[in-house]
Structure 1
Amino acid sequence: MDDTMPDRIDAYLKGRMSPEEAAMFEAEMQKDEVLAKAFQAQKALVEGIRHHHRQQLFELMQEEEAALAAQEEASAPGGAARVRPFYRNPWLLGAAACLIVVFLLRLLLMPSPRQPQQLYRQFAEAYSSDLVQRQVQTACTPIQEAAIAYNRQEFAQAIPRFKALLGQQALLQQCLVSPEELQLLLGISYVETGEMGLAREQLKPLFDQMETARWYYILSFVKVGAYPQALAQLEAWEHPSAYYRKRITRLKAYLSE
């Protein structure tokens, strides 16, 4: 093998030969076994060097990229601290996750105006009768029994009891119970059982005496999804108390969505 063979092999491997020279060189390598072995050794050496250089270059690029990323995160032009992008800032990610959870809980827990039963239940008063606790005579037991059925939410049983009592004016006077109080409880019982026409008959005459009666009159429309009628009644309510003023504002917001 002449002294120029290593250079020729190197030129061949590095693509510095013309197609004609490369073809002639390959034919020459096949003729001589010694040359073929030398060619393979040189080829392996060159490929090893190339792989090593490629590996070094790749590692260098990774180091430079990491250094640039760290520099960008540490400061912006002018020396001001740079805010991390949203997707790389753990604090912002945590805050976003909390907001998403709160939003989902709001959707789950706050009923939509398109769900009349849930909306009604949210705004219904926890209105219970204290007739059970009053010190009354034995003759007043029917009033207590009606109140007990009402407070247990056994409205179907309470309704006939209240209706029967409303016709007993002397008994109500003896037991110091106003007919308006029983009429209110009867109207609420009708709302709870879904008999809205009968409920409104009992509640509307009490508007000027009891705000609770007016409130349940409005809820009788809400419960069946008659939102325009409920809104009209809310708009017509003049000079409500501070307690109901807040509830009216909230209910209007729901019904107007």
Structure 2
Amino acid sequence: MFAFFVFFSTVYAADDWYRPPVGVTWQWQLDGVVNEDYDVDLYDIDLFDSSVELIQRLQASGKKVICYFSADSYEDWRPDAADFSAQDLGKTLKGWDDERWLDIRSSQVRDVMVRRLRLATEKGCDGVVPDNVDSYRTNTGFSFRANDQLDYNRFLATQAHQLGLGIGLKNNPDQARTLSSDFDFAVTEQCFEYSECRSYLGFIQAGKPVLNAEYRRIYVDDESERNSMCQQSQRLAFSTLVLPKMLDDQFRLSCVP
């Protein structure tokens, strides 16, 4: 017998959320006008910048929609930026001057993230990808540890599932195997470039896909290099794309047949 969770007058059956299969095809675009023309199974797009109409059009064409947001960093341009307390803002992210690390132990930070997850349900997203969920590995300005990160990531997964959302683990190779039972898929960047791909095999073994993006220019310019990398990707059963680092659809090459 199913348990039910009620949020914003919407009823969700327990275990009733999107779970993409291994080998799923996908497109990832976070910048610019989203190109809706790719014949893929799912799109990964920005939670805030994507309209309900865009999400509905993609779904009407048979695609699932995964909505991206940052869960461990404060972005000063987001519409809910004022909801964070100054005491929960840490150091600036390297290379991202308008982002600061968040104290993931904070109840206020967690409340903001629950509201973001609810926004994803209101917009009709099939799932979410919270970014920067490995901040324990860097100098954030806070003194939390790996267990704090595990607790926070599991909190996000639990809240997403209670709202009927699938959820992906993004860029956390050291905790990927431990969290593979909590998340429905993984999203990783440059796992071949940084020799991190095998960290995510727990997802594949659990029947959950790994969506990987590679950014090295040699994969664009040298077909033999790209084919070699794609052969490795296919052996691992990963869904790998070669994309521009800005994720603006300037080009797209897929390793998935």
**TM-score (normalised: structure 2):** 0.27
Q: Which structure has more helix as a fraction of its residues?
A: 1
Q: Which structure has more strand as a fraction of its residues?
A: 2
Structure of greater relative contact order (alpha carbons < 8 Å, 6+ residues apart): 2
